[in-house]
Amino acid sequence: MRKFSSYGSVSKKLHYYVPREELITQACRQLVGEDMDDGGHYITIWAPRQCGKSWIMREVLWRLWEDDRFHVLKLNLEHLKMMKDADRIAAAVGGELNSLLSIGNISVKGMDDFHTLFLKGVMKKPLILIMDEFDALTEEAIAGFAGIFRNIYNIRREDPASSKGKRYLLHAVALIGVRAVLGVENVKGSPFNVQRSVNIPNLTDEEVSAMFGWYEQESGQKVEQEVTDSVFYETRGQPGLVSWFGELLTETYNKTPGEPITMRHFRYVFRMAVKALPNNNVINIISKAKQTPYREVVLELFRTDQKVAFAFDDPDLNFLYMNGVIDTEETDDDLYVRFSSPFVQKRLFNYFSRELFPDMGKVFEPFDDLADIFTENGLRIGNLILRYEKYLRKNREWLLKDAPRRSDLRVTEAVYHFNLYQFLKGFFANEKVRVWPEFPTGNGEIDLIIEYEGTRYGLELKSFTNDRNYRESLKQAARYGKSLKLSVIWLIVFVEDIPDEYREKYEKDYMDKKTRVTVKPVFAATGE
């Protein structure tokens, strides 16, 4: 029986997979070209890591092998990433090509003579060349190879129309990479401006369902549709993460294979995936997000007062996008940044919460009477936030001493969200209370969920900017409360300071007429 493959390349014989025929056909068509004499295209295959670039191009390779008109080769270049000298890299790649094509009479010593491998007379048939992990090479090597390919492409265009008159037999090139392949890191601009671009998207919800449906047919074990929907929602169809959750659900934590896989199983698996389990894909994402200067950008993305516009030519956003930290969200008027998936956002939120606040000190004194929080009717969220405000005022000098700050030296907004989360976890550490973050939009909006004695409390976090935005936040909180099937939701509003008369004005319950959800606003003064 097949398995879900969460690491390495997927085997069509051993693993569940998505055929992705349309993408494979598209890449084949571009490499072969519309006319043999005209040549194929020089293309880049790009996507964030673990999206299936190499697998798709391996399928392309096997399909093109069946076309006797061409030599078709795929070179894996990752082993050259530690080599710094561009000429040594060119010699190594040239030697491999020489060996695979059995050329024999050509010796490549560096970039200057690399082009000679592709001359007519050296090769017997046109070559379609696929280079994987191209951006593992140094910037100098990338620029060198790209310049050579560009020159060959232009010469082929200028040569006589018939293939017999072509000086070079490099029919098509596919460069597989993440970022540098597009020339973004080259300060002199991209020398490879003749290529077409093939982006590898995430899986669709139908494709994710098909993978689990395949598992159901082979195993006989039913997977509830809500589980499949949740896998897609939390991963947004990122192939590596989908397969990882498939492995966790069907193998690692599948203790009762004779029973259906339900949401109870998914919630347990998801909790373990967020808090306890290593995954190379996620570890790589966090490692990129915590680097300077990207760390500051990621922290800013957790702000709730405004969205961040996306621009591919912004080097920081480009880096985060290509490494799977962020994705894009299209609206009627612009393109905005969002985190790549709710699961990734939760992992990052947990990471930065712990990194920024490894020690919260005493969140309450040992003999404090907590009767103002725990009552026969449940938790008093308003009193809980007042306790947090007092805690913050008392400890802010040491607590926020090294906190990230904006250019005006004020503490970054998201810091208070991380801090409140850590406070709540510490406050309820010895109680039968669960606290976890949710991110309903993938942007900066943050909600904390508290579960106590079968009752769920939703806390939507916002920063106060002006009266108009505050009124919209009330409506937004009501809509979110309805999605959680709650009749009451709390809106926690962070503000530097709020006089008593304004508390009285703004801290009034709001009943939304459309959703019939009551929003209870509570202001938390940060004391800046």
3-state secondary structure 371-405: CCCEECCEECHHHHHHHHHHHHHHHHHHHCCCCCE
The confidence score (pLDDT) of residue 102 equals 85
Q: Does residue 189 have a pLDDT over 60?
A: no
Instruction: Say if residues 274 and 346 touch (Cβ distance below 8 Å).
Output: yes
Question: Domain map of the chain by residue range?
Answer: 21-199, 205-277, 353-525
| Range list of H helices, 102-204 | 139-158
Instruction: Say if residues 43 and 175 touch (Cβ distance below 8 Å).
Output: yes
The confidence score (pLDDT) of residue 164 equals 67
- DSSP code per residue over 351-362: HHHHHH-S----
The confidence score (pLDDT) of residue 163 equals 59
In 3D space, the residue among 422, 281, 435 whose CA is nearest the CA of residue 357 turns out to be 422
pLDDT band of residue 89 (cuts 50, 70, 90) is very high
In 3D space, the residue among 173, 171, 192, 170 whose CA is nearest the CA of residue 181 turns out to be 192
> Which residues are registered as beta bridge partners of 127?
71, 170
In 3D space, the residue among 49, 5, 135, 52 whose CA is nearest the CA of residue 344 turns out to be 49
Q: Does residue 186 have a pLDDT over 50?
A: no
Q: Which helix (H) or strand (E) holds 459?
A: strand 455-463
Instruction: Print the SS3 string covering 127-143.
Output: EEEEEECHHHCCHHHHH
Instruction: Say if residues 215 and 250 touch (Cβ distance below 8 Å).
Output: yes
Instruction: Say which CATH architecture domain 21-199 belongs to.
Output: 3-Layer(aba) Sandwich (3.40)
| 251-268 average pLDDT score | 96
The confidence score (pLDDT) of residue 44 equals 82
27's tokens? 């890449």
pLDDT band of residue 528 (cuts 50, 70, 90) is low
pLDDT digits (tens, 9 = 90+) for 440-485: 777 767 889 999 999 999 999 998 889 999 999 999 999 999 998 9
516's tokens? 């019939």
In 3D space, the residue among 84, 90, 87, 23 whose CA is nearest the CA of residue 58 turns out to be 23
Share of the chain above pLDDT 90, in %: 61
| 127-137 average pLDDT score | 90
Instruction: Say if residues 463 and 494 touch (Cβ distance below 8 Å).
Output: yes
Cα dihedral sign for 71, 149, 196, 200? positive
- DSSP code per residue over 460-480: EEEE---HHHHHHHHHHHHHH
pLDDT digits (tens, 9 = 90+) for 12-43: 999 999 999 999 999 999 999 887 777 788 88
Give the amino acid at 301.
Answer: L
Q: Does residue 77 have a pLDDT over 80?
A: yes
Place of tokens 């989360």: 421
pLDDT band of residue 261 (cuts 50, 70, 90) is very high
Other CB atoms within 10 A of residue 293 CB: 9
- Note the pTM of the prediction, 2 decimals: 0.86
> With DSSP H G I counted as helix, E B as strand and the rest as coil, what are the percentages for the chain, rounded to 5?
45, 20, 40
The confidence score (pLDDT) of residue 451 equals 94
Q: How far apart are CA 302 and CA 377, in angstroms?
A: 33
Q: How far apart, in Å, are the Cα atoms of 103 and each of 99, 117, 127, 301, 389?
A: 7, 8, 13, 53, 75
Q: Does residue 434 have a pLDDT over 90?
A: yes
